[in-house]
Amino acid sequence: MKFSWFASSTEDTEPTESPVLVDVKGLSPDDYITTLPKFMAFAARLGLGGPEALHTYNLDSNLYQKINEGAQFHVYRRTEWHESGGQVLFGGYTRNLHKVYKRISRALYRTESKDSLRDLRLEIQVLAQDVVRAHPNIADLVGWGYDYPRQMCEERRTASDRYPFNQSIPVLIIGEAYCSLDIFFTTPVFKQSEVSSWATRCHLALGIAAGLECLREIGVLHNDLKPENILVCRQDDPEMPFVSKLNDFGLSATSVDGFRSYGRTIGWKPPESSDYDEQKHGTCSREALFKSESYVYGLVVLYIICEGQEPLQEYQASNSRPYPQWRRDRWAREKETVDLIKRQTKFSDTDMEQARSCYHTVENNFLLDMPLDRKNVSPRLLLGDSLHYQHWFSYYERHRLAIAGNLPFVTWDNFYTGLSFYRSLNPRILEDLKAYSPSDFSGDLLFSMAMGSLATRMLKDHAYIRDLITMSVRTSSPSLIGMGVASNVSAAIPGQEDPWKPGEMKEYLRKAVASGSRVVVRELQSMSSELVQEAQSEFRSTGGYNHESWFVQEYADMSVDIELQLLAAQKDWHTQDIPPLMDEMRKRRNGLLHIASMLGSANLIRILVGSGHDINALNFAGETPLYKACSAGQFDSAVTLMDLGADATILAGPLKVSCLHWVFAFSDHQIEPITRRLLAKGLIIDARVLPTRETNEHDWVQSRHFPFHWPIGTPLHWAAHAESSIAVDALLRCGAQVDELDMVNDERAQTALAMAVFRGSVDMALHLVQRGASAARIDGRGSSMLHLLVVNQTLYNTLIPVPKVMFQWCLQGSYENVLRDTRKLVKMITDAGININFNRRVYKTDEWCTPLQDAINNKDAVGVLVLLEAGADPNVIEKYSGQLPLHAWASTNIRYLAYPAAYLAALELLVTGTRDWKARDLDGETCIQSALPGVDAPNEADFQVWKRKLKLLLRHAEKPCIDDRDKRGKTLLLHAVCYRNIPCWSPLGAVEYLRSLGADITATDENGSNFLWHISRRNDLREEVIITATDLWLDLFPDVDNATLLNESRNKKTGETYLVHISENGLAKCVRSALKHGANTNLTNSQGLTALDNAVVAGNRSRLNAMTQFHKHFDKMPSASEEYHEDIFQDQIYDGGSGEGYLDRDASRSDNQKRYFALPEIRDLLISAGGKTGKQLGTAKYAPDVKTSEEDSLEAIGVWDGFRRNDQPYFEIWRASYDLDDD
């Protein structure tokens, strides 16, 4: 993304080409980022952690404290911390993990122009770069998200000072600092520090210099340097407890039009900015602007040297302007500074001498009048080789390398490939995104929504996921990831018609292969082998699997002559005016030799090595030029480098990836020659990529395409993962062992064949077996390959946790394909001698499990079907549950299945093969009762499948068993009434169907509770459902009076009645109807409490909850004149959760609001009908608690002392509840 540094030069200079901060594919500089999809595409593409949705309690609630409000951002911090306080990085030191939240100001957000959110864009662009994120002296951008300013809060503001209603607002999440530099020297932690005052000041000044040096290297001016924009963070180094960090990059110079536009804060500007004189200051240039920043840095250093003691405060009180601003006369400034240094009572004589020396260094290098006479900011320049510098530099290097060592493998520029991003797209966020038009989305974001829907809501309609992936390749910025899997996903989830035009898919597959996808090579090969060769050659020409290749691809698409840029860069690699593409490469600490190697310029390699370039130089990711040549598949580059002496044994990054791992990236005829050359240079054939931790997705080398990572293990494992049989054969001929394990001395270790079986890669599995691999291997945890075929535990955390359903959809495609491939794999394994019923021991238990049980537990419908076809025993019993496979399969909801078409076929085989139909599990349930899941199907098609499942089970039963009871006496019909997998789901349709099959609606459970009692307990159901169910029940018994029927709908153990439930649930219409039918208001439960007791307590709970929620959002108690907005009643239970209940959050909010007013109405209805409390009846000792719970609740939030009961909203409707609490 390019920005002009000079919009219109006021100093008669030619515009200078800007740096490319961070390219964001699919988002032009003129795009607004006010909409959620635009902001999400922008932030996620840059590799930032997120999104974090602040919906339950937004930043305006009292869970957050506003600590700053500027023109660009409002800044908040949590008032209740949940973070641990730090993450150990190295040597026991920690990095700040507490967070502050920067939300775009209302004024900027409402403008919605391309300039209004410039500060947000620039802040992200600067902080998102890898070299910046790894820098210890620049603020930590730890994530991003969005906030939901409540309508009830915004309505209290003037119309011109509101956020738009019902829109999410961008938020940046920054690592929290102790304070800003402008107040640090007056804080107790500084004054009480055991480290000397001068040493601390040196460390802070050196850190600021290092941060500015980093920014200069990537071509960015801070442009608003001042103590207020420098953070001071605490750290666990006893000799250097404080570190300075540059902050607030919203004014970073990407549009400065000359000296006069430099800086925004009066007093913290160089003289050429405040009073430009061309004769005195010279002509503005890019280099000169960085010298302007040097001047301001000099002022900041003077501030650091002199600030913070009482004498300075007394001194400033007698001056009209603070120090060191506006001190332009050198000799006056020197006299003043030396005088102030003398006043530093905490300085030793040596400290004062060093402070004066530091001042003169600043004066002679940074505070000169002529910009070009000044030096660029550098830590070493400030303090030379002093002991303070040496100590600071030692810590700086360790800290920087500790972060940088992992960063390139943790964050890819294309962050959509990171599983943490997919998991962050929780149901709340996905639902928000659906409110926007598809035209607002980039293709990768649509693909991410599909992955997020699958990973966080397995019950989502498969067609929705298919449609998202289809749309992802048809946007104006199509997803290459989507192109790599769209064909197979469409086949796996067929629609009413083929979504692809003739020839369309061939072009998508070609583009996917040309961007590095391996999973579609075989499919494209079946269409055109020439296209495969063409696409792979194109991929290699732009850098292959190198991290920087997507920059090259972008510039190639723009018809930029990359060869010319290489030649231009060769002239002076260290110049500020290097071409933009090369500048991007340089930011990652690449030398020109790295770039020439990955782009295949062998002649330039010879010239560079001949001119003294380090042939084994490491870039930011720890990669050598030879490594980059191999990961690009550049044969000539790799051979040339080895001929010139490159060390092939150097491993890249913390995961120790070798050059040999990338041999599959070369052309087929080059694979074996390059393998032999690398081995001849000392590489070992079984070099391993190993996980650094057991359970984190950042332990893997991530990939842009599905399945989003490269595995741990040897080059053979990588070649098999890449589906390259030629690379596999070359490695085997060169000495690789076909059954080599990916890890040594680890019970989780697997062979390349086992990994191929897990993925369902039948061609590679059969190829490995033909080469001698053993399909009979039992792994270190006792699993056979039959188990690995059907499990979903990602090989014990040695693979990235992609849902197994995605492997099947993306790699195998249609149901017919996966069925065929699974049959081949099962036959391959059983032919090797593995028993179809081989038992594995469940890890760390005494439980045993067959492949069939694993397949059922992992909801692999195709695996279940194929194993049963192959003779798997359906009569094994699971020890801990007592279930037969038939129990477990009957309880499977088809919406969890990748291929629902296999479900009923597998069930038929289980039914016919199960010997003991009367068997019950440990809960006393039969297979009929186990069939409940799926009864709440959201569409008619799925409900019909559930009906067919039940009919199939009943058809094979020896006798009518639909009314069999479990240990608690419940029948299937009663279970259906109580089922609430999806809140607000009405069971009446299922009840009607069960009755049509002969189910007895009048059955009761062991406590005598009937249908009506159970349905009245459902506090998530609408009143209309309860009323319909009540009418149904009453109509069943025309000869019994209604009052008796209602009163007898009771639990014998608890004594709770139908009336108690509908009263405490706030169902006023139901209560009114029940009272008309003559329901007894004074029946008591086992504690002697009546319906009135329960209604009063429930109402009081609703009243206190509303007041508490109001206080959380407004940080005050509501007055009598307040009217509660419906947002107060937002149900927090499902908000942002991973279940499906959140879909009804608006309905639940409305229901909660109705309940607030219904409960006092019910109280009054019961009293009018003669209802009394248990205390009034003499059956309970205490009155319903209103006053004590009120005091406890309000005291907990610190407002009890000032609370007045009659000064609360709607006091009159609650007065009677107070009266009833007469204890």
**Mean pLDDT throughout 221-233?**
87
pLDDT of residue 86: 34
Of 252-266, 670-684, 759-773, 1028-1042, the range with the lowest mean pLDDT is 252-266
For residues 977 and 991, give the distance between their C-alpha atoms in angstroms, rounded to a whole number: 7
Average per-residue pLDDT in the chain?
Answer: 83
- 380-390 tens-digit pLDDT: 998 888 888 88
- Backbone CA torsion sign across 640, 642, 644, 648: positive
pLDDT of residue 706: 84
Q: Which residue has the higher pLDDT, 479 or 629?
A: 629
Q: Which residue has the higher pLDDT, 747 or 325?
A: 747
Of 95-109, 492-506, 948-962, the range with the lowest mean pLDDT is 95-109
CATH class of 848-1044: mainly alpha
pTM (two decimals):
0.81
Distance (Å) of CA 275 to CA 7, 333, 372, 548, 809: 20, 18, 16, 43, 66
pLDDT score of 18 more than 50: no
Closest CA to 324 of 249, 237, 226: 226
pLDDT of residue 862: 97
Distance (Å) of CA 1082 to CA 1060, 1089, 1176: 10, 9, 10
pLDDT of residue 1134: 37
Q: What residue type is 527 in one-letter code?
A: M
pLDDT score of 430 more than 80: no
- 673-700 tens-digit pLDDT: 999 999 999 999 999 998 765 544 446 7
Distance (Å) of CA 332 to CA 269, 493, 1079: 18, 79, 94
Map out the domains of the chain as residue ranges.
32-176, 183-404, 411-527, 561-684, 693-834, 848-1044, 1091-1220
- 229-277 tens-digit pLDDT: 898 988 878 888 999 999 877 555 544 566 666 666 777 888 877 776 6
pLDDT of residue 594: 92
CATH code for 561-684? Answer: 1.25.40.20
- 191-216 tens-digit pLDDT: 888 889 999 999 999 999 999 998 88
Most confident of 60-69, 792-801, 1017-1026, 1054-1063: 1054-1063
Q: How confident is the model at residue 559 (pLDDT cuts 50, 70, 90)?
A: low
- 317-338 tens-digit pLDDT: 555 556 776 677 788 888 888 8
The residue behind tokens 């495609």 is 813
pLDDT score of 413 more than 90: no
CATH code for 32-176? Answer: 3.30.200.20
Of 209-213, 367-371, 598-602, 868-872, the range with the lowest mean pLDDT is 367-371
User: Per CATH, which fold does 183-404 belong to?
Assistant: Transferase(Phosphotransferase); domain 1 (1.10.510)
pLDDT score of 631 more than 90: yes
Q: Which residue has the higher pLDDT, 103 or 1081?
A: 1081
What would the DSSP string read from start to end of 906-958? HHHHHHHH-S-TT---TT---HHHHT-TTTT-SSHHHHHHHHHHHHHHHHH-S
pLDDT of residue 724: 96
pLDDT of residue 314: 54
Q: What percent of the chain has a predicted confidence (pLDDT) above 90?
A: 46
- 824-867 tens-digit pLDDT: 999 999 999 999 999 998 887 888 999 999 999 999 999 999 99
Non-local CB neighbours of 20 within 8 Å, separated by 6+ positions = 1, 2, 580, 581, 583, 584
Q: What residue type is 635 in one-letter code?
A: F
CB 879 within 8 A of CB 812: no
For residues 34 and 41, give the distance between their C-alpha atoms in angstroms, rounded to a whole number: 11
pLDDT of residue 26: 42
**Mean pLDDT throughout 966-991?**
92
- 485-544 tens-digit pLDDT: 999 999 999 886 777 777 888 999 999 999 999 988 989 998 999 999 999 999 999 999
pLDDT score of 1104 more than 50: yes
pLDDT of residue 23: 43
Most confident of 161-165, 303-307, 690-694, 1157-1161: 1157-1161
Q: What residue type is 1090 in one-letter code?
A: T
Dihedral angle of Cα 1165, 1170, 1173, 1176, to the nearest 10 degrees: 150
pLDDT of residue 993: 96
For 133, half-sphere exposure in the C-beta direction (CA atoms, 13 angstrom radius) is 26
The residue behind tokens 């850098």 is 543
**Mean pLDDT throughout 893-897?**
89
Dihedral angle of Cα 1145, 1147, 1152, 1155, to the nearest 10 degrees: -160
For residues 585 and 1020, give the distance between their C-alpha atoms in angstroms, rounded to a whole number: 57
How many CB atoms lie under 10 A from the CB of residue 714?
27
pLDDT of residue 45: 67
pLDDT score of 458 more than 60: no
Name the burial class of residue 801, with classes exposed (0-12), middle (13-18) and buried (19+) by CB atoms within 10 angstroms of its CB: middle
Of 194-198, 230-234, 616-620, 955-959, the range with the lowest mean pLDDT is 955-959
Identical topology for domains 561-684 and 848-1044: yes
Name the burial class of residue 673, with classes exposed (0-12), middle (13-18) and buried (19+) by CB atoms within 10 angstroms of its CB: middle
Q: Identify the architecture of domain 693-834 in CATH.
A: Alpha Horseshoe (1.25)
pLDDT score of 1159 more than 60: yes
Which helix (H) or strand (E) segment is 702 a member of?
A: strand 701-702
Beta bridge partners of 2: 20
Give the SS3 label for residue 1007.
coil
